[in-house]
Structure 1
Amino acid sequence: MRLEQLYYLVEIYRSKTISLAAERAHISQPALSAAISKLEDELGVNILKRTNQGVYPTEIGELIIQKAQEIIESIEDIKQIAKRNSLELNGNISMAVEPGVNLTIMPEVLTNFKYNHPKVNIFVKVGESNNILRDVQSGKADFGVILKTDELMQAKDINLRELFVDELVLIAGKQSPISRQGSITLAEALAQPVVLYNTEYVTNCGISGILKRHGDFNVLFRVDNLEMLEKILLHRECVSFIPKFMAEEYGKFSEIAIIPISDVPLDITIVIIWSSRHHLSMVEKELIKGIKSTCCDV
């Protein structure tokens, strides 16, 4: 068994086709196929199934590829450790975060990380959780920080790590009659016109998925930025459901009232996700470590 065979195997798993894997590995298709065939002969098992729709691992192949990925990650870590000993960390990171995390957690994370690793370039996209999931699946984002949604739990080839648990609360403009109530039942809340945060022309956002478990509700608007959401709440008698840790930021500085839901807990979990086809680099792991550390204080 040779190390390059494991690299080829993982590249085929990520690419799902021999031709694309060969192109990415800078090797001819026949040479790549031969390397995998030799590995299968050596191990005495079929690792891959070749179909008209692409190449997929067998049941035993899934386990072998998982171990191959772990070996490759360990080798990459060794390289990064050696590099870090002689050079500063550098590289590019493309990440996507839901707005509550961006508003409350990322300023401290990014400030500390950039101070310690000035040569790393970070691009942060802010979006709705299910939209971020699709960005991670497609490779547009290296990893994401999102709500744990129904769509996420049905997704394949996604790794996740839980950061912390929170709950949804209701917010409304302080001039709204509903804001004068100390608390509200979920049925009363769902009876209000609702403004939802969503960043694409897709209606199945994570928060609406949670609300649908408890009944129907009337969506007044779907908006793609928080400033617009806040302005609508200040000018209309309507409400929005957002995570409590995010709502507390609104309560500090704006004319937005936080209204707890009295009878039904709307628990949510904030998670980090990345594709199982994406190897987390040392710089990405360092940034994730900073996010985890900051979230411990939430």
Structure 2
Amino acid sequence: MHLEQLKYIVEVAKTRSISNAAQNLHVSQSTISKAITHLERELSINLFTRSRLGALPTAEGKNIIKKAYEIVIKLEEIQEEAQTQTSLINGEFNLSASPSLFMPILLKTLAIFKKDYPNFKVIMTEKISPNIMEDLIQGKIDIGLAMIDEVDWNAHEELVYETLLEGRVMVCVSQHSPFAFSDHITPEELIDETIVMYDEGIWKDSISAYMNRYGPMNILFASNNTEVIKKAVSEGLAISFLMDIALKDDHYVKSGEIIPIPLINIEPSRRSFGWVRSKNKHFSLAAREFLKYLKLHISKLE
């Protein structure tokens, strides 16, 4: 029995796929398949049931895989302890963030973290919240930063999360809009307005469902590229709904090209955002350290 075999069966159990496990571990499918076969022969039990649907742990295999996971975690903790003793954090971790939610805060946090830990590599992607959850479940990323409202956490017991901050729904209008000098806006006032929507599943659906109570919305387009959305608003092509936290230090707002105005008489008017991780993936020292930096930066904004 070798440590590589234990790592392989843990990764296959996470992804339920030999091909995905091979991709994540940067080895060939045949390497993993042979390693599992040899381990099964050594233990005289079948660890997985292979089919067109993937590789699923057998009843006998589940306990073995659980113990293998514990061993892999301990090994990673030993490696991290060695790094801690030399006061260095090396390596990399994968992070996904919802683009309109955390970018202004996240980019500054990354800059500070990178300055203190220049040898560490953070691989960051932008995805909508449902895709972030799926990547966490499949073990593709270490941390997700996303909207956590309306997620059925009972259906995702393998995930844990923490709320970091709340955001308020704002109506973004051009400086030349008749609304530009309003203290607030109600849904009824927006019935005839042309709208560009942020294309986040939960966000878009909840806003659309609420606004449609007052009449069909005139949606020009939907996008998860907030720069495109803000450009359309600044040029007076449409209005949009964004969170106040997505507009902190925004250059369109600072220049006065976009005016954010609170949207009232809408429930819920505030949304919760936070970090999410999988219980089945090792919570690395670097990931924990990065979250400390993120929380510290958020505390300075409050």
Same fold at TM > 0.5: yes
Q: In the alignment, residue 260 of structure 2 is paired with which amino acid?
A: I
User: Does the 8 Å CA contact 2:165/2:274 hold for their aligned counterparts?
Assistant: yes
Q: Using the alignment, how far apart are the partners of 1:140 and 1:51 within structure 2?
A: 22
Q: Which residue of 1 aligns with 2:72?
A: 72
Q: Using the alignment, how far apart are the partners of 1:4 and 1:99 within structure 2?
A: 36
Q: 1:266 aligns with which of 266, 269, 284?
A: 269
CA positional deviation for 1:279:
3.5
Q: Using the alignment, how far apart are the partners of 2:240 and 2:62 within structure 1?
A: 43
CA positional deviation for 1:56:
1.5
CA positional deviation for 1:224:
5.1
Q: Which residue of 2 aligns with 1:201?
A: none
Matches within 5 A, 1:240-279: 240-250=240-250, 251-264=253-266, 265-274=268-277, 278-279=281-282
Unaligned runs of 5+ in 1: 199-203
Q: 1:33 aligns with which of 37, 41, 45?
A: 37
Is 1:209 the counterpart of 2:213? The answer is: no
Aligned residues: 289
Q: In the alignment, residue 230 of structure 2 is paired with which amino acid?
A: E
- Residues 102 and 258 (structure 1), Cα distance of their counterparts in 2 relative to 1, 3 Å cut: same
Q: In the alignment, residue 185 of structure 2 is paired with which amino acid?
A: I
Q: Which residue of 1 aligns with 2:285?
A: 282
Q: Using the alignment, how far apart are the partners of 2:59 and 2:295 within structure 1?
A: 33
Residue deviations 1:90-147, cap 9 Å, x none? Answer: 2233423233444431233122211211111234334444454566567665433122
- Residues 221 and 289 (structure 1), Cα distance of their counterparts in 2 relative to 1, 3 Å cut: same
CA positional deviation for 1:158:
4.9
Q: Using the alignment, how far apart are the partners of 2:81 and 2:261 within structure 1?
A: 49
Q: Using the alignment, how far apart are the partners of 1:296 and 1:63 within structure 2?
A: 42
User: Does the 8 Å CA contact 1:89/1:120 hold for their aligned counterparts?
Assistant: yes
- Once structures 1 and 2 are overlaid, which stretch shifts more, 25-34 or 138-147? 25-34
CA positional deviation for 1:255:
2.5
Secondary structure at 1:178's aligned position in 2?
Answer: coil
Q: Using the alignment, how far apart are the partners of 1:191 and 1:130 within structure 2?
A: 30
Q: Which residue of 2 aligns with 1:11?
A: 11
- Once structures 1 and 2 are overlaid, which stretch shifts more, 259-268 or 217-226? 217-226
Residue deviations 1:7-34, cap 9 Å, x none? Answer: 3431330342468768669857465235
Secondary structure at 1:236's aligned position in 2?
Answer: coil
Secondary structure at 2:292's aligned position in 1?
Answer: helix
User: Does the 8 Å CA contact 1:150/1:209 hold for their aligned counterparts?
Assistant: no
Q: Which residue of 1 aligns with 2:180?
A: 179
User: Does the 8 Å CA contact 2:101/2:243 hold for their aligned counterparts?
Assistant: no
TM-score (norm 2): 0.74
- Once structures 1 and 2 are overlaid, which stretch shifts more, 148-157 or 227-236? 148-157
Q: Using the alignment, how far apart are the partners of 1:172 and 1:83 within structure 2?
A: 50
Q: In the alignment, residue 211 of structure 1 is paired with which amino acid?
A: I
- Residues 173 and 18 (structure 1), Cα distance of their counterparts in 2 relative to 1, 3 Å cut: closer
Q: Using the alignment, how far apart are the partners of 2:138 and 2:36 within structure 1?
A: 25
Q: CA RMSD in A?
A: 3.9
CA positional deviation for 1:241:
1.0
User: Does the 8 Å CA contact 1:169/1:247 hold for their aligned counterparts?
Assistant: no
Unaligned runs of 5+ in 2: none
